[in-house]
Chain A
Amino acid sequence: MASAVIQFLNGLASASTLFLVAVGLSLIFGVTRIVNFAHGSLYMLGIYLAYSFITKLDAGAPGFFGGVIAAAIAVGVVGAMIEIVILRRVYQAPELFQLLATFALALVIKDVALWSWGAEDLLGPRAPGLRGAVEILGLPFPQYDLFLIAAGPVVLGALWLLLNRTRWGTLMRAATQDREMVGALGVNQKWLFTAVFALGALLAGFGGALQIPREPAQLFLDLTAISDAFVVVVVGGMGSIPGAFLAALLIGEIKAVCIAIGTVTAFGIELSFSKLTLVVEFIVMAIVLVLRPQGLLGKPWALQRVAPAQMEPPLRPASRAGTTATIIAIAALAALPLLTRGYTLVLAIDILVFALFAASLHFIMGPGGMVSFGHAAYLGLGAYGAGLLLKTAGWTMEAALAAAPVVAAFGAALFGWFCVRLSGVYLAMLTLAFAQIAWSIVYQWDAFTGGSNGIVGVWPAPWAASRAVFYLLTFAACVAGIGLLRRMLFAPFGYALRACRDSPLRCDAIGIDVRRMQWVAFIVAGAFAGLAGGLFAFSKGSISPDSTMSVSRSIDGLVMVLLGGVQTLAGPVVGAAAFTWLQDTIARNTDYWRALLGIAILVIVLAFPQGIVGGLRNWLGPKEVRA
């Protein structure tokens, strides 16, 4: 009984933390409609800044809490600067570009933290006056956690007062419902947006700073914080602050219950609930999204007026020049082993594999209009499918490679069935949830998948063992795969897919089954990502959950597609090549490759809102005059 109470209180403490991280994200999204990927980075910045301020001040309780507040304010100022310098320029860009811009910011902030504080974990001081533990039903419970439990509701209350009892709050709530109308009524949206972003950033920084006595400042906190925050915001309903609180409470308590249950043996099967904590929030999110797509307290989407400029031009077959360029590029790639057998060939294999991966993601993202944040799940399923069939089942390389897309397609069929029932950001979040679930299964199932160590010794058959031959094999498979995806886009299936994206209403009225089309597209994209995964496994010789199906791998794919331009067919291939090459070149020359990559992405986003290829085409190509 006593331990159950303690677990319950633990759940409340973690709920408070979750709420503080998530609420700013929800606020920012509600008003600006920007999904701020850098929110976790702001949280991380809060912890680091609090560490510096507190250790510098070193003056007991005033120093500690002064440091926490100073850190929160500093992060708020950083947020305001980010909004003014960068985000203001992308409000009119497509949703995905905003996401890409904030993702680039996350990269830059990570390297700023690395540069300022180094790679070592920094453990901060404990809060003066709250160092001890109180006894609750005979068991000790940290005083600081009691303080945290109170912090969540206090912030919720303060926000409620701000939003419901001040003029500024009224404007903000109005902007959440209809920002165009608020603008039409003469409110200066510019500063409203800046203020909201600063407030959201301040809350993230505050949430981070408060964690300093509980966990060390670490560089990976940005990713864990952002995925936690996303989950809470999506479960609660995007833009709903009470929803975020409710969701944080729900997830915090469910995690506590899982830890409390521990390992249970039922019917001879050992079930470890405590291991479930890694994914339980994603499972909750998946269930909520399927049953109540707008989140617990969210409202269905408000009307958004889409600028016609974002409309995609009709599909045209490649021009003569384009075809010639493609043929020359393919011929040059085929001849590459004659020129070099060195590292360039290794890099070229990577580029080809990721070009196929990006092309498969583009297939559902561009023509399908379904943004996946978890496409690496299928890369990983293909890689693990091939690796396990080779090592455990003793299949040949050829058979294992052929099976890789099939394994991934089955996974995509299962996950996709749920995903196509949603759209937009919610769909993206569900794909992320499934990818996390797949990742954690692979990560924890030591006996079968090798757990975090992965599988080693996934080498090609003897005939393909030489670098040049394996390169040619990869080349053939990737060119065929990308060619087939492209062919499908020009076939009725590709047209139907675009039709589903353009107007589900019209599709319904002419007999096109939108969900089924999207589901099939999801499976096709999964299969090709699986093929890329199989090739990846054999090219590296070893695979691990992190190298194949981590969130960051999914995001690599997204960046490749967006970098190249989501509205063009050559885009993903160019994007994959640019990204892989840049990453490789920069990473070999500096510790701060992420920041450089981030800055490069920001420049591209601000200069070419339609991606590299889209930008070039707009610049060079013919233009149709609007009627």
Chain B
Amino acid sequence: MSAVLAVERLAKSFGGVHAVREVSFRVAAGELLAMIGPNGAGKTTCFNMLNGQLAPDAGSVQLEGREIVGLAPRVVWRRGVGRTFQITATFPSMTVRENVQMGLLSQHRRLAGWWRSAARLYRGEADRLLERVGMAEQADRACSVLAYGDLKRVELAVALTNEPKLLLMDEPTAGMAPKERIALMALAAAIARERRIAVLFTEHDMDVVFAHADRIIVLDRGRLIAAGEPGEVRANPEVQRVYLGSRSLH
């Protein structure tokens, strides 16, 4: 399998703190890779370097063989990277459909239009995406009145508007009820597999991680300490030490 995302020896320090040290990993098309680790392990720093919010000190991030390090987030998006946020970022003064239409308008470079009504543009495409994430009935509601779990679905639909090759999901199920978590992640996984999207997500809920991730990488204090399929990672003594202290599970 050729990698959609190839991260090589990525590093970042803040002052004297090495937030991320020489982290390397790959994600293939249609694969769900979970990045886990205790608080302060460097997950968010790592994430922010992948989509251009933060410039790394060293290392490379290649999307389908092309370097994307140092590009602005909006340029990274144009290369085919979708993103959802830990705390949802949507446009509250717009309806659900309009939120998705914004992504489509941007993707088709129609943002500068100043005459034709925006509400009619890419309406069908937006509705199809909303249908896919189960938000079609609520398309005309304002985003500001949605339940949190529904906002997450809207964000997922927006992240799909550029037909991404890579989807970055930062704590996709944070702040949701346990049942909703599994449902949302199952949805994301199904979409990723049917559209052959590479997905990288961070997550604190281990039920979600072990139920949906194809592979897992574990960060601790900025270092990558383990990588592999869920079974392997679960059995890894180093991972157990990090999560449980020095005593082993067995």
Contact = CB atoms under 8 A, between A and B. Distances in A.
Interface of A: 308, 311-315, 317, 487-488, 490-496, 498-499, 501-503, 505-513, 517, 520, 624-627
Question: How many residues of B sit at the interface, in one of the four size bands?
Answer: 35 or more
Contact of A491 (B72, B90, B106, B113): B113
Contacts of B75: 511
A494 B115 CA distance: 10
Given A495-B118, A496-B111, A627-B147, A510 B142 contact: no
B147 A490 contact: no
Contacts of B107: 510-511
Interface of B: 51, 53, 72-75, 77-78, 82-83, 85, 89-95, 98, 101-103, 105-107, 110-119, 121, 141-142, 144-147, 158-159, 161-162
B77 A510 contact: yes
Which 10 pairs, one residue from A and one from B, show the smallest C-beta to C-beta distance?
Answer: A506-B89, A492-B113, A502-B91, A312-B93, A311-B144, A511-B77, A508-B73, A511-B106, A492-B118, A496-B111
Contact of B145 (A490, A510, A627): A627
A130 B99 CA distance: 68
18 contacts: A308-B92, A311-B92, A311-B142, A317-B119, A488-B115, A491-B113, A491-B114, A492-B110, A493-B114, A505-B85, A506-B90, A506-B158, A508-B72, A508-B74, A509-B73, A510-B161, A511-B74, A511-B75
Contacts of A313: 93, 142, 144
A615 B115 CA distance: 29
Contacts of A513: 74
Query: Which of B82, B90, B118 has the most C-beta atoms of chain A within 10 angstroms of its own C-beta?
Result: B118
B94 A510 contact: no
Given A487-B115, A505-B89, 12 more contacts: A308-B92, A311-B92, A311-B93, A314-B98, A487-B114, A490-B117, A496-B105, A496-B106, A509-B51, A510-B106, A512-B106, A513-B74
Contacts of A502: 90-94
A492 B120 CA distance: 10
Given A490-B119, A491-B117, A492-B113, A510 B93 contact: no
Contacts of B103: 510
Given A508-B73, A511-B74, A511-B107, A314 B113 contact: no
Contacts of A503: 89-92
Given A510-B77, A512-B111, A495 B144 contact: no
B139 to A, nearest CB: 11
Most chain B C-beta atoms within 10 Å of own C-beta, residue among A494, A502, A513: A502
Given A503-B89, A511-B106, A624-B145, A493 B98 contact: no
Nearest to A505: B89
A626 B74 contact: no
A544 to B, nearest CB: 34
A517 B114 CA distance: 12
B114 A510 contact: no
**Candidate in A312, A314, A488, A507 with the most chain B CB atoms within 10 angstroms:** A314
Contacts of B114: 487-488, 491-494
Given A493-B111, A509-B73, A627 B91 contact: no
B83 A308 contact: no
A404 B118 CA distance: 30
A308 B143 CA distance: 11
